[in-house]
Structure 1
Amino acid sequence: MNESLTGLLVLGGFLLLNAILKMAYAALINTHKARLKEMAEEGHTRASNALSLATNATRLLASQQLTDLVLRFAIAVVAAVILTPPLRDWLIDQDISARLASWLAYGGVLLMTAVLTLILGEMVPSNIGVGHADTIALWLAGPINALSHLLAPALQAAQWISGQIAAPFVGRSNGTTVTEEEIMLLVDAGSEGGAIEDEEKEMIYSIFQFGDTLVREVMVPRIDMVSLDINTPLSEAVDIIVKAGHSRIPVYEESIDHIRGLLYAKDLLALWHTGDTNRPLRELLRPAHFVPESKKAGDLLTDLQQRKIHLAIVIDEYGGTAGLVTIEDLIEEIVGEIRDEYDINEEEDYQQVNENEYIVDAGLDLDDLNRLLDTELSTEESDTLGGYIFSRLGNVPTVGEQIEAEGLRLEVLSLNDRRLRKIRVTRIAPAAEPEDSRE
């Protein structure tokens, strides 16, 4: 009786130890590393231990696998030694042959042990570890750290042996390639679980999309550019710069397609302060940086940073001026709209009237509209909503003119000369298929 009780206590001890270790590993994997880093920098020893383990996934995983193997083997052996004999004797008493009773006893004990280990030693402690990750990680990081150091020789030997065996099949690669899609899935999972805020998710998505964005999708088009003729008097140039609120303005000669340089507001202010207001603009110009509209936005941002300039003139395939782009325009593609005191009166890109209706600026990027409405308007021929309507109609639209596409009705609300300004976008039911098309 005493031996049986001792055996049961040993078995329970192994199960408890397995549960504690599983809970600790789950907590370390799911803990908030940024919070641990802050605490470690403040001098918390437990946080330092937890951070060391949490950021070393290979070491943590190897330690977990080895302890799992040892404990599961120990649990199975102890359970077989303690529980199999009485179960076998009971089966024999039920008129079952000794050979069959032995097999049934061993099988039953192993099955029972597997279920108990799965529920009490895996699932329950893992759920507890995830639910209280930070607290448990701080309390159990010390023992886990000591255990991993104790197991280090065995772990290194096992890793070396497994590496030698696997080398002919997987080569000698030192790393694993993680695809953009896999990162997106992790971000989505983190967002659904609450670990990643919606704003953070959008920023991560924007960073990936930024690499494929062309300058022409980001630039201020030439029709919206504030620019100066090179013969503009200094006093008039000051008024235009003050009204526009820009620190740099392109200066052209004869036409906007012949940009001669950039006028800096600070250069004008310096002259204005000294009273030297009769100098021609030509003498104040700084060199302009020209880029093709097909250049990638990410490459341009790097280019501007290296050159330490804030604005570039965008040219089309014929060498004419297509628009301009600033560092602020590029950064806004990642972090969203940046508004300063000069942007207060700027209109929003869209206004939601009701669940199915929006008033949209014709200059809104089609990719942004597709994300907003979960549609798939084609971006092959146009970058903006206004350009899309032009390409679909094939003529200059008039107020009230409508088109339907991708379950949307697009109605022209206002124009400025020949330029579209506001569009009413309404969700509609998919158009019914004509009778003759079904025959």
Structure 2
Amino acid sequence: MGRSPPLDNGEESQQAAPVLKRIWSFLRGERGESNTENEIEKLLDEVEEKGIINEDLGDMIHNILVLKDTTVGEIMVPKGDMVALECTSSLDDLVALIKKEGYSRIPIYEENLDNIIGIAFAKDILKYWKSSEEITTIRELLHPPYFIPEGKKLIDLLKEFRQQRNKMAIIIDEYGTVDGIVTIGDIIEEIVGDMIDEDDEFYEEDVTLRGDGSYSVNPRMPIDEFDEVFKANIPEGNYDTVAGFITFQMERIPHAGETMEFGGFIFEIVGADKKRISKLVVHAPPEETKG
């Protein structure tokens, strides 16, 4: 049987609301929620068939249901595949690794991978270069690692990531041995599957150092956080995000391939459509070498 014609957005939202409420109650394990997972699955099939929700949304909800019983150990990056760095390495070594691998967070260990002492953020490297503060070791840049047991459910970790504004967890076994890592991007991939590209802004960290020394910047990054990291002296205005600042300066939504200059910074629009900027690269003005 084919799917019914899709409803208009208002009608779809109105009819989907009680369905989504029941699913959310089920996922949260609320008392009095009598639906079993099979019943929820059947309900999803029915509302998709009637066109109450579209197929992609239905697929995402199906995947979220799976998260309820999936553990972090099932999707983790195993220890043997982890990208990490020893704490006695130089800052130049850290920068080189970030450029090579393209990651914005690097686990730092002492002596061996079972002794992870912190997480280095790429954007903190930029803060260092933009400040007069002298930093001589990687240890001075570290954020506390977040350790979780291998049996933790993905749905619970997702909630913790959101509550703590965290994006990476170190997975350990019952003896405290490191098994691997899991990131918010790994969980998102489990939910959306092939529906979006891994390069989509949905995955994007606020700031990622690129191999050529420029920075991939999430257009939705709060403008005050951008200014804190880049020391760009952005003036106050009627905008909250980097994309909003660019749009305000250009007095329109720019096209992909355009650039904007402000205070020595070059904002390169890599992706955009009629409604928004989706991808952005920032070229910072050269800094004097420290030391």
2:178 maps to: 321
Q: Greater RCO between the two (CA within 8 Å, min separation 6)?
A: 2
Q: Computing the radius of gyration over CA atoms, which structure comes out larger, 1 or 2? A: 1
Question: How far apart are residue 176 of structure 1 and its match?
Answer: 8.0
Question: How far apart are residue 275 of structure 1 and its match?
Answer: 7.5
CA distance in 1, matches of 2:85, 2:33: 54
Question: How far apart are residue 227 of structure 1 and its match?
Answer: 0.5
The partner residue of 2:199 within 335, 340, 344 is 340
| Aligned residue type for 1:314 | I
Change (3 A) 1:228 1:206: same
Q: What runs of 5+ residues in structure 1 fail to find an aligned partner?
A: 1-29, 39-50, 57-174, 343-439
1:153 maps to: none
Identity %: 43
Query: Under a length normalisation based on structure 2, what TM-score does the superposition of the two structures give?
Result: 0.55
CA distance in 1, matches of 2:148, 2:56: 31
CA distance in 2, matches of 1:199, 1:333: 14
The partner residue of 1:183 within 40, 47, 65 is 40
1:261 maps to: 118
8 Å Cα contact 1:233-1:280 kept in structure 2: yes
Question: How far apart are residue 37 of structure 1 and its match?
Answer: 7.7
Secondary structure at the aligned position of 1:318 is classed as: coil
8 Å Cα contact 2:110-2:117 kept in structure 1: yes
Where does structure 1 differ by over 6 angstroms across 4 or more consecutive aligned residues?
none
Deviation track 1:84-136 (CA, whole Å, cap 9, x = no partner) reads xxxxxxxxxxxxxxxxxxxxxxxxxxxxxxxxxxxxxxxxxxxxxxxxxxxxx
CA distance in 2, matches of 1:232, 1:301: 32
> 1:283 aligned to 2:140?
yes
8 Å Cα contact 1:248-1:263 kept in structure 2: yes
> 1:299 aligned to 2:193?
no
| Aligned residue type for 1:340 | D
Secondary structure at the aligned position of 1:334 is classed as: helix
Question: How far apart are residue 228 of structure 1 and its match?
Answer: 0.6
Deviation track 1:5-26 (CA, whole Å, cap 9, x = no partner) reads xxxxxxxxxxxxxxxxxxxxxx
> 1:247 aligned to 2:109?
no
| Aligned residue type for 1:281 | I
* More helix per residue: 1
Question: How far apart are residue 35 of structure 1 and its match?
Answer: 2.9
Secondary structure at the aligned position of 1:207 is classed as: helix
Query: Under a length normalisation based on structure 1, what TM-score does the superposition of the two structures give?
Result: 0.37
8 Å Cα contact 1:291-1:313 kept in structure 2: yes
* More strand per residue: 2
Question: How far apart are residue 325 of structure 1 and its match?
Answer: 0.9
Question: How far apart are residue 308 of structure 1 and its match?
Answer: 1.7
| Aligned residue type for 2:39 | E
Secondary structure at the aligned position of 1:300 is classed as: helix
